[in-house]
Chains A and B, each alone.
Chain A
Amino acid sequence: MEKLDEIGKRLLMEVADLHSVPEGAYNIRANGEAVGRVSTANIDIVPKTDTSGIDIIIKPGTKNESVHIPVVMTQSGIKEVVYNDFHIGEDADVVIVAGCGIDNCGPKDSEHDGIHRFYVGKGAKVKYVEKHYGSGDGAGKRILNPGTEVYMEEDSSMEMEMVQIKGVDDTTRTTKAELKAGANLVVRERLMTHGDQRAISIYEVGLNGKGASADVVSRSVARDNSYQKFDAVLTGNDECTGHTECDAIIMDNGRILAVPGLEANSVDAALVHEAAIGKIAGEQLIKLMTLGLTEEEAEEQIINGFLK
C-alpha cells in the first residue's frame, strides 16, 4: 500500500472500497506489478511462472473469508493482459472482490485485460464483486476488456455483481459459464456509459445438468453519444431454468442494442428473456418535479435509483 500514490489509493477506494489493507487474503496490482500480497491459512495466492497473473487456491470448506485482488493503473500507455485463476474448494463459502481502476492523464491508451477463470467446487458458494472505474482527462483512452470463465460443479452457486459506472472509454466484457446439475448462477450487471464510450457485454451460459439455474440481469444507462451492446445467450441442455433481462435507459444520443438469445436443447428446459429499452418515463420526471426537483435533478435521482 505504501507504494501507491494518492491517485492509486483513490482508485482502490473506487473499485474495492478499500481505505487500507483489506482483511483476509489479497493481491494488489499497480501499474503492472504486485504492490502487496498476503495469503492466509485457507487461501493461497501464488504468482504464475509462465505468464502474468496469479492462482488463487481456496481450500475446501473455507467459510466466511474474503479475497481482494484489485488492480490500479495510473501510468499512461500501459497495456497488460493478466490471467487470474480461482480454484474454489468444495463447500467453501467466500467473497471475492476484484475490480480495476484506470487513471489516464496522458496521451497514450491504457488497457487492462483481466482474464478470470473460476473453478467452483461441488457445493461451494461464491460472491464475486467486480467494479470498473476510469478517471483522468488525458487524450489516451481507458480500456478494459475483462474475460470471465466460470466452471461450476454440482450444487455450487455463484453471485456476480459487475459494475461499471464511470470513465471507462471502451470495454468488451465476455462472460462464459458452464453449470452442472443443481448449480446456480446469478449475475447483476450495472452499467453507465457517457461521452463517446462504448461497452459490449457478452454472456454465454450453458445449463448442462438437471436443476441448473441462471439469472442474468443487466441494468444500464447510455448517455451522450455512447453505445452499448448486451448479448446474452442461455443454452438449456437439461431440465433447467434460465432468465435473462436487459433493462436500459437511453438519454441524449445514446444507443443500445440488446440481443437476448435462448437455446433449448431439452424439452424440460424453461428459458425466459426480457429486454426493455427506453427513455426515462415522463411521469417519473413529473412526479419528482412536483416534489420541487428540477428536471435535471429528477433525472439524476431516477438514474441513481435505477443503478443502485
Chain B
Amino acid sequence: MLELKNISFEVNDDGEGKEIIRNISLQIPDRKLVVITGPNGGGKSTLAKLIAGIEKPTSGSILLDGEDITEMSITDRARKGISYAFQQPVKFKGIQVFDLIRLASGKRISMADACEYLSAVGLCAREYINREVNGSLSGGELKRIEIATVLARGSRLSLFDEPEAGIDLWSFQNLIKVFEGMRKNIEDSSILIISHQERILNIADELVVIKAGELFAQGPKDEIIPMLNGTDSAIPACKKELAAGGEV
C-alpha cells in the first residue's frame, strides 16, 4: 500500500513560494486501481512526480508498505517497486525499443518476451522491437512503448500519468483493454492512473479528485463520478464530502 501523509510541495516562483500541492493525505490500497482526476494545473502530475521521487515534497511523508520512502532516490524507489509512465515519453538516440524493455524488466529477456509486452499495448512487435526510441516514432507509438516498459517491470505500484494523452481513438480502445487486463491480474499490486478520460474513470475501483493542489474528493467510483458530471446526485455527494471535512 502507498500512503501519502500531509504532503505539501512548494516551488520558487520569482522569489515567492508557490504551493503546488497542499497538505494531501491519501492511501492507494493493494489490489485496487485508483484514478486521480481533476482540472488541468491542479497538481496531479506533480503528485505523480513526488511519488516517483522526481520531486521531493516540501513537507509530509510517503510510505510504501509502511516504509518511509520520502528521502529515497528515484532508483531506490524503482527498486522498491514503483513504476512510472511519463506523460511525455522520453526520446533517446540509438537506444532501441528492445533495449528499453530489457532494462525495464531488469533481467535478460528474450526477443519473444519483449514482443509480448509490445503486443499487449497494441503494437505489431516485429515492426517495433528494433526501432530506435527516437523522434521517428509518433507520439502515440512512443506512448504505447512507455506503457509497455511499465508492463515489463511488473511492479508493486504502477503509476501512469495521462496515458491517453497523444493517443488516437483507435489506440485508446486498446489502451482500455490493457488497463482492464492489468486490473484483472493485479494480484497484490496497485495501479494509479492520472486521467481525464471517462472510460478510464469507469474502470477504476476508486477515484481521487485533486483541485488547486488540494484533495477535493476521494471514494468509490460510483460516489465520485456523479460529482464530476455535475448532475443532481452530485449535490448530496458534495455535501457529504464537506461534512466529512473536505476542504473545497
Whether A302 sits at the interface, judged by CB under 8 Å, is: yes
CB distance B75 to A301 under 8 Å?
A: no
A305-B75 contact, Cβ under 8 Å, with A284-B90, A287-B90: no
Segment at the B interface, from A54-62, A234-242, A292-300: A292-300
With a CB–CB cut-off of 8 A, which chain A residues contact B52? 290
Question: Whose C-beta in chain A lies nearest to the C-beta of B133?
Answer: A305
Question: Whose C-beta in chain A lies nearest to the C-beta of B104?
Answer: A291
A302-B92 contact, Cβ under 8 Å, with A292-B106, A295-B75: yes
Shortest Cβ distance from residue A67 to the other chain B in the assembled complex, whole angstroms: 29
Count, A-B residue pairs, CB within 8 A: 57
With a CB–CB cut-off of 8 A, which chain B residues contact A290? 52, 54, 74, 78, 82-84
Whether A247 sits at the interface, judged by CB under 8 Å, is: yes
Whether A289 sits at the interface, judged by CB under 8 Å, is: yes
With a CB–CB cut-off of 8 A, which chain A residues contact B82? 290
Shortest Cβ distance from residue B137 to the other chain A in the assembled complex, whole angstroms: 15
CB distance A305 to B93 under 8 Å?
A: yes
B 66-95 to A, binary, CB cutoff 8 A, 1 in contact else 0: 000000011100110011101000101111
Whether B99 sits at the interface, judged by CB under 8 Å, is: yes
CB distance A306 to B78 under 8 Å?
A: no
Whether A35 sits at the interface, judged by CB under 8 Å, is: no
Interface positions of A (Cβ within 8 A of B)? 219, 247, 281, 283-284, 286-295, 301-302, 304-308
With a CB–CB cut-off of 8 A, which chain A residues contact B94? 219, 304-308
Shortest Cβ distance from residue B68 to the other chain A in the assembled complex, whole angstroms: 20
Would you list which residues of chain B between 161 and 197 have a CB under 8 Å from chain A?
none
24 contacts between A and B (CB under 8 A): A219-B93, A283-B86, A283-B90, A284-B90, A284-B92, A287-B90, A289-B73, A289-B75, A289-B78, A290-B82, A290-B84, A291-B149, A292-B75, A292-B153, A293-B75, A301-B103, A302-B92, A302-B95, A305-B92, A305-B94, A305-B95, A305-B96, A306-B93, A307-B94
Question: Whose C-beta in chain A lies nearest to the C-beta of B152?
Answer: A291
**Within the assembled complex, what's the spacing in Å between the Cα atoms of A291 and B103?**
7
**Within the assembled complex, what's the spacing in Å between the Cα atoms of A306 and B83?**
25
Interface centre among A281, A291, A294, by most chain B C-beta atoms within 10 angstroms, is A291
Question: Whose C-beta in chain B lies nearest to the C-beta of A290?
Answer: B84
**Within the assembled complex, what's the spacing in Å between the Cα atoms of A159 and B213?**
57
**Within the assembled complex, what's the spacing in Å between the Cα atoms of A268 and B83?**
53
Question: Whose C-beta in chain B lies nearest to the C-beta of A247?
Answer: B93
Number of interface residues of B (CB under 8 A): 24
With a CB–CB cut-off of 8 A, which chain B residues contact A301? 95, 99, 103
**Within the assembled complex, what's the spacing in Å between the Cα atoms of A283 and B104?**
16
B 113-150 to A, binary, CB cutoff 8 A, 1 in contact else 0: 00000000000000000000000000000000000010
With a CB–CB cut-off of 8 A, which chain B residues contact A302? 92, 95
With a CB–CB cut-off of 8 A, which chain B residues contact A284? 90, 92
Known: A283-B86, A283-B90, A290-B83. 14 other contacts (CB 8 A): A281-B90, A284-B90, A288-B103, A289-B73, A289-B75, A290-B84, A291-B104, A292-B78, A294-B75, A301-B99, A301-B103, A305-B95, A306-B93, A307-B94
Shortest Cβ distance from residue A296 to the other chain B in the assembled complex, whole angstroms: 10
Shortest Cβ distance from residue B71 to the other chain A in the assembled complex, whole angstroms: 15
**Within the assembled complex, what's the spacing in Å between the Cα atoms of A66 and B138?**
39
CB distance B74 to A289 under 8 Å?
A: yes
Interface centre among B52, B84, B95, by most chain A C-beta atoms within 10 angstroms, is B95
Shortest Cβ distance from residue A183 to the other chain B in the assembled complex, whole angstroms: 28
With a CB–CB cut-off of 8 A, which chain A residues contact B79? 292
**Within the assembled complex, what's the spacing in Å between the Cα atoms of A288 and B86?**
11
Shortest Cβ distance from residue B100 to the other chain A in the assembled complex, whole angstroms: 8
Shortest Cβ distance from residue A4 to the other chain B in the assembled complex, whole angstroms: 33
Shortest Cβ distance from residue B189 to the other chain A in the assembled complex, whole angstroms: 16
Shortest Cβ distance from residue B184 to the other chain A in the assembled complex, whole angstroms: 24
**Within the assembled complex, what's the spacing in Å between the Cα atoms of A283 and B86?**
10
With a CB–CB cut-off of 8 A, which chain B residues contact A288? 103
Question: Whose C-beta in chain A lies nearest to the C-beta of B84?
Answer: A290
With a CB–CB cut-off of 8 A, which chain B residues contact A293? 75, 103
**Within the assembled complex, what's the spacing in Å between the Cα atoms of A304 and B75?**
20
CB distance B78 to A291 under 8 Å?
A: yes
**Within the assembled complex, what's the spacing in Å between the Cα atoms of A284 and B84?**
14
B 44-58 to A, binary, CB cutoff 8 A, 1 in contact else 0: 000000001010000
**Within the assembled complex, what's the spacing in Å between the Cα atoms of A22 and B246?**
77
Question: Whose C-beta in chain B lies nearest to the C-beta of A190?
Answer: B94
Shortest Cβ distance from residue A271 to the other chain B in the assembled complex, whole angstroms: 23
With a CB–CB cut-off of 8 A, which chain A residues contact B75? 289, 292-295
Shortest Cβ distance from residue A59 to the other chain B in the assembled complex, whole angstroms: 37
Task: Please name the 5 residue pairs, one residue from A and one from B, whose CB atoms are nearest each other, closest first.
Answer: A305-B94, A305-B95, A292-B78, A287-B90, A289-B74
Interface centre among A283, A287, A304, by most chain B C-beta atoms within 10 angstroms, is A287
**Within the assembled complex, what's the spacing in Å between the Cα atoms of A307 and B94?**
7
